[in-house]
A and B are shown apart, each in its own frame.
Chain A
């Protein structure tokens, strides 16, 4: 369950009850739906667009579109599944548009991304920031990430070394990468 702000009363309702409440005009119930599924929607979008800021914008858009479409939601699928489909479509469309834009503007983009002294200084600063971000990770995420990214060990080797199940190692590395992406947002 979300660790963020919560609304009393609607928290005990399941997704279908929340949808029914929203359809009856209860806006608070929609806020609870957003809080309940925002991590999932954001994760689904981020997987496709690979940019935290863009992913947040698209996730907000996803919930707004869901709100506008709620009067027509009949409950044929789970709310989460319905949201996933909206989020996925929005993310794929965004990537398609970005590719089209990148193709159109590529010559200018390449020319503007020079590798002069300023660029080198920026890379150094970014590396330092990355080091700080890795250092700030919780130990259970940091160890598998360092073994994977800096020591280039396989997932199996890391699992053996840390005496953890393979899936746990993969999950922790996944979470560590996401945490770093979040920390390094300003560099993107």
Chain B
């Protein structure tokens, strides 16, 4: 394992977009990524896991339905029974 020679100042310049010369290096350097992970900690004000997991859950549901084949109509019927259809328009 080689030692990273990039300085913290270079890393911060990179993070600020002022120096892209270490772009390729950062792609594979654990030390630089660890520094950036620490620098970027807390930047995001929302939790992305909720929207991401909604889509993932839906994808898994669709995959499961497709795999079941003949059970598709039954699953759709069950979903309509559980979640209703057009309830909000009443």
Binding site for B on A (CB under 8 A): 2-5, 27, 30-31, 34-35, 37-40, 42-44, 46-48, 50, 56, 59-60, 63-64, 67, 77-78, 80-81, 84-85, 88, 166-167, 170-171, 174-175, 177-178, 182
Contacts and interface: CB of A to CB of B under 8 A. Distances in A.
A5 B48 CA distance: 10
B33 A80 contact: yes
Contacts of A78: 30, 33
B41 interface: yes
18 contacts: A5-B49, A5-B50, A27-B53, A38-B47, A39-B37, A39-B44, A40-B37, A40-B40, A56-B44, A59-B48, A60-B51, A63-B48, A63-B52, A64-B56, A67-B52, A80-B33, A81-B30, A182-B45
Contacts of A59: 44, 48
B16 interface: yes
Contact of B17 (A3, A50, A175): A50
Nearest to A2: B47
Given A56-B48, A59-B48, A170-B9, A31 B53 contact: yes
Contacts of B37: 37, 39-40, 43, 80
Nearest to B56: A67
B15 A47 contact: yes
Q: Is the interface of B mostly helix, strand, loop or mixed?
A: helix
B5 interface: no
Interface of B: 8-9, 12, 14-17, 26-28, 30, 33, 36-37, 39-53, 55-57, 60
Nearest to A28: B53
Given A64-B55, A81-B30, A174-B15, A40 B36 contact: yes
A51 to B, nearest CB: 12
A170 B56 contact: no
A174 B8 contact: no
Nearest to A50: B17
B47 A85 contact: no
A125 B66 CA distance: 53
Contacts of A167: 8-9, 12
A60 B17 contact: no
Nearest to B27: A85
B73 to A, nearest CB: 25
